[in-house]
Amino acid sequence: MWLEALVPAVAALLLSAVPGLVVAWSGGFRGYAAIGLGPLLSAVLIAGTAVVAPWVHLRWGVLPLLLATLAAALLLWGIRAGAARLRPIPWTQRVNRRSVGAVRLESAPRSRATSKAAPSSSGVFRLRVSWATLLGLAASVAVLGWRLTSIFRSPEYVSQTADNVFHLNAVRFILDGGNGSSLSLGAAGGSGPSLYPGGWHDLVALVVQTTGSSIPVAVSAVNLVIGAVLWPLSVIFMARILFGHAKIVDLSAGVLAFCFSAFPYLLIDWGVLYPNYYGMAVLPALLGLGALVAKAPRLRLDFGLSLAVVFTVSCLGLLIVHPNTVLTAGVIIVPLWVARLWGRLRVRGSGVRATRRLRLGALLCLAAVLIVSAVVWIVLRPFPLNRFDITWPPYETPGQALGEFLLTTHSGWLPGYATSVLFIAGLYFAAKRRGSRWLVVAATIWAVLLVSVAGYQTSYFRGLLTGGWYTDFKRIAAGAAVMALIVGVGFVKTATVMTKISLWRHTPLGPGIRRLATSLVAVVALIAVGAVSQTTNVPQAASHAQTNYSLAPGSPIMSADELALYKKIDDIVPAGSTIADNPWDGSAWAYFVSGRQVLFPHVLTPWTPDRGIIARMLNQAADNPLVCTAVRRLNVHYALTSDELIYLPGNPSTYRYPGMAGLELAKGFELVASVGENHLYKITACW
């Protein structure tokens, strides 16, 4: 069944990883640093190139992406080459290591392995790929791949949810018009050109173009690659930057990547939130870059400039993959920056003048970080603060919400027993060490966000706090899962170091036996964590998401009969003709299947006077001249109806299309095709 998705999946992996890997390599990143950054930079390249392509009169496709990749690679290479020729400029005086050292939780001295993870003096960042890296990746890819394929069930199935009405039609919109710009993609919903994050849609369109697969198969392949490959690649990169190169870091990051229900499973269930899903999958790589920025004073000029460009462009690019991923990154990384800058305000340099210069620079940077963070927090709210009443209501008490946060769960589901132990213990040890307390601050912010959105009634303050995530607890829960994952990896590293120290102090074992014993304990513990996680809320999340993916007679939006009818439409309806429809009965998807334009391509398509007349009175076309006037103005030649299920029955919006009812008895309509209870009529009353 999944063999038909193999070629699209390979194409999706190459398109979503290789362009970014090439750019990362040209920017000085080597080894796993380039591999881990590949998904993030590819997402940025795809989304950004799609915006630029219309300005240079290029249709969206592989060619613009190749040109953009080449241009970005040459630019970064040029920056590094030019900076390397300049006279080295000391950014700061050497200061106390504690204030600028590697980001870590463990209290033991830095090991040789950890020191290798730091940026080299040559300005080239190298992360070695070890057997532990490959094993962690393999475990994550295997478990996530198994879970995701079980959720999607078949590559031909689609998520029968409201947001997916737009997503699938938006892919067809890009293929038809050759324009994947996020600045105009909102037009795919039937409105004028407007802003909508389009990186995910652009990637799916590329897979369709390069493989010739159907849109549903391309969607399944892309989503499988995003969740099962890009996510763990990014997570391991982030863990390596935060906690140094150690085999246990790679293993624990790979295992914990599949242990949380809130991500990746929640965002392919609710909504569905595919653009958010893509952004969150590559978010950890941005966090890794942010942690490198905290080490910037230790870098040589050429690599420092390369890092600054990559990080800045990544932030801007993720804004058009999905804006709230940048907010999510900020909640985690800004506390780290503040902690490092605050530490520099307290250290002493080699002289009074150097100390003053150092403190002034740190103070200015701290003020800039806080001001920019506040502005971004306000600007990235998708709706005005006075519209807080249109958002999602709470579903539990504040105490229950806090309990779910600590137990790494949500939605009233089972606690994540294994992951919650790592999370709570990790926060305890982080609080005890000055250099790691930023983790506690970041986790506290996430607790406030999740408790306010899940446990408190709508208000201006709630909207101010959580508006950037549409005041949707599911999006915030996904960010909280990333936070818990980071703390969990940190605790595993801490516990491993403490175990080594304990064995060294209290046993007569030799160094080799101590290392072997510590590794065995750590591996067994990780296996237990992974196994327990697959028996609690993770299977609940997977089972719940699976119910949305179907193509059966009882499917809430589109059934197999409807799909069969839609596949005939391009042979019947001439190109350029529009089809009248009620989007709530599934007919909006006739567009992505057939490529023929429908009048209402989304359940939220804005109504115009002519659309309103057709929706309310089309069945009166033979007797009411207003109807034919609207039909001719909108070039509507056909009408599509279904007597199957209406999506979200009881929703008042589903009753706004009485003109689509009873066309089989109305004058001026000719039945031209039908499958089961689904019918396509030609409007003869007006033409």
Instruction: Give the pTM.
Output: 0.93
Regarding whether 345 and 285 lie in a shared domain, the answer is: no
For the beta carbon of residue 192, count every other beta carbon within 10 angstroms. Answer: 8
Mean pLDDT of 613-628: 96
Considering the domain architecture, whether residues 58 and 187 belong to the same structural domain is answered as yes
Hey, what are 534's tokens? 């697959």
Q: Which of 74-78, 242-246, 662-666 has the lowest mean pLDDT?
A: 242-246
Q: Residue 254: is its pLDDT beyond 70?
A: yes
Decide if 103 contacts 294 (C-beta within 8 A). yes
Give the H/E segment covering residue 232: helix 231-243
pLDDT of residue 119: 39
Looking at residue 88, its pLDDT comes to 53
pLDDT above 90 (res 114): no
One domain, residues 666 and 610: yes
- Among 99-103, 377-381, 443-447, top mean pLDDT goes to 443-447
The DSSP element (H or E) to which 164 belongs, if any, is: helix 162-177
| Residue 552 in domain | no
* Average pLDDT for 657-684: 96
d(CA 627, CA 142): 56
Taking the C-alpha atoms of residue 241 and residue 311, their distance in angstroms, rounded to an integer, is 14
Least confident range from 66-80, 116-130, 461-475, 530-544: namely 116-130
**pLDDT for res 348:** 60
Whether residue 548 lies inside any domain: the answer is no
What's the pLDDT band for 516 if we cut at 50, 70, 90? confident
Q: How many domains does the chain have?
A: 4
Q: Are 427 and 492 in contact (CB under 8 A)?
A: no
Binning pLDDT at 50, 70 and 90, where does residue 92 land? very low
Residue 504 has pLDDT above 90, yes or no: no
**Does residue 567 carry a pLDDT above 60?**
yes
Question: Has residue 89 got a pLDDT over 50?
Answer: no
* Segments forming the whole domain that contains residue 590: 560-683
Dihedral (Cα; 453, 456, 462, 465), 10-degree rounding: -40
Does one domain contain both 207 and 309?
A: yes
The answer to whether residue 106 scores a pLDDT higher than 60 is no
Pick from 483, 518, 543: which residue ends a domain? 543
Mean pLDDT over 67-72 rounds to 97
How many secondary structure helices (H) and strands (E) does the chain include? 26, 8
Residue 117: its pLDDT value, please?
A: 37
Mean pLDDT, residues 98-119 taken together: 36
Give the pLDDT of residue 614. 97
Nearest to 653 by CA among 598, 614, 687, 615: 615
Out of 378, 397, 416, a domain closes at 378
Residue 312, pLDDT above cutoff 60: yes
Rounded CA gap, 645 and 163, in Å? 18
Dist. CA 256–CA 526, nearest whole Å: 8
pLDDT at 337 over 90: yes
451 lies in the same domain as 484:
yes
| Lowest-confidence pick of 98-112, 124-138, 263-277 | 98-112
Percent of the chain with pLDDT over 90: 76
Q: What is the pLDDT of residue 103?
A: 38
Residue 93 lies in a domain: no
Is 70 exceeded by the pLDDT of residue 566? Answer: yes
**Which pLDDT score, from 0 to 100, does residue 385 have?**
79
- pLDDT number for residue 587: 96
Least confident of 33-47, 430-444, 511-525, 611-625: 511-525
The number of CA neighbours under 13 Å toward the Cβ of 532 is 16
SS3 string of 107-140?
CCCCCHHHHHCCCCCCCCEEECCCHHHHHHHHHH
Q: What is the pLDDT of residue 310?
A: 95
* Strand 636-642, strand 578-580: pairing: parallel
Cβ-in-10-Å burial (0-12, 13-18, 19+) of 216 comes to: buried
The whole-angstrom separation of Cα 237 and Cα 245 is 10
Q: pLDDT-based confidence at 359, cuts 50/70/90?
A: confident
Residue 587 lies in a domain: yes
Higher local confidence (pLDDT), 313 or 651: 313
Residue 121 in this model has a pLDDT that exceeds 50: no
**What number is the average pLDDT over the span 292-314?**
85
pLDDT at 626 over 80: yes
Q: Does residue 38 register a pLDDT over 70?
A: yes
Phi, psi of 111 (to 5 degrees): -85, 170
Asked whether the predicted pLDDT for residue 515 surpasses 80, the reply is no
Q: Give the angle 82-84-86 at the CA atoms, nearest 5°.
A: 80
Mean pLDDT of 372-385: 89
| Segment 64-80 mean pLDDT | 95
Cite the DSSP H helix spans in 573-647. 590-594, 609-617, 625-633
Query: Are 308 and 235 in a shared domain?
Result: yes
The whole-number average pLDDT for the span 444-461 is 94
Residue 101 belongs to a domain? no
User: 63 and 167: one domain?
Assistant: yes
Residue 352 pLDDT:
62
Contacts of 184 (CB under 8 A, 6+ apart): 54, 193, 194
Average pLDDT of the residues of the chain: 90
Is residue 490 domain-resident? yes
The alpha-carbon radius of gyration of the chain (Å, integer) is 27
Task: Note whether 412 and 531 are same-domain residues.
Answer: yes
Mean pLDDT of 24-52: 96
Arithmetic mean of pLDDT, 215-231: 98
DSSP 598: B
The whole-number average pLDDT for the span 535-554 is 93
pLDDT at 350: 55
pLDDT exceeds 60 at position 190: yes
Quick check: is 95 in a domain?
A: no
501 and 397 in a single domain? The answer is yes
Q: Would you say residue 123 has pLDDT above 50?
A: no
CATH number for the domain spanning 608: value is 3.40.50
Q: Which residue has the higher pLDDT, 298 or 185?
A: 185
Q: Helix (H, G, I), strand (E, B), or coil: what is residue 535?
A: coil
Is 623 in the same domain as 534? Answer: no
311 and 344 both lie in a single domain? no
- Report pLDDT for 82: 87
Q: ∠ CA 105-110-115 to the nearest 5 degrees?
A: 110
Q: How confident is the model at residue 514 (pLDDT cuts 50, 70, 90)?
A: confident
The more confidently predicted of residues 685 and 354 is: 685
Please check the confidence at residue 122 and state whether its pLDDT lies above 50.
no
Of the residues 358, 378, 398, which one is the last residue of a structural domain? Answer: 378
Same domain, 140 and 22: yes
pLDDT band at 621; cut points 50, 70, 90: very high
pLDDT value at position 349? 55
Structural domain includes residue 508 = yes
Phi/psi for 207 (5° steps) reads -65, -40
Residue 37 — pLDDT band, cuts 50, 70, 90?
very high
Q: pLDDT digit string (tens) for 404-416? A: 999 999 999 999 9
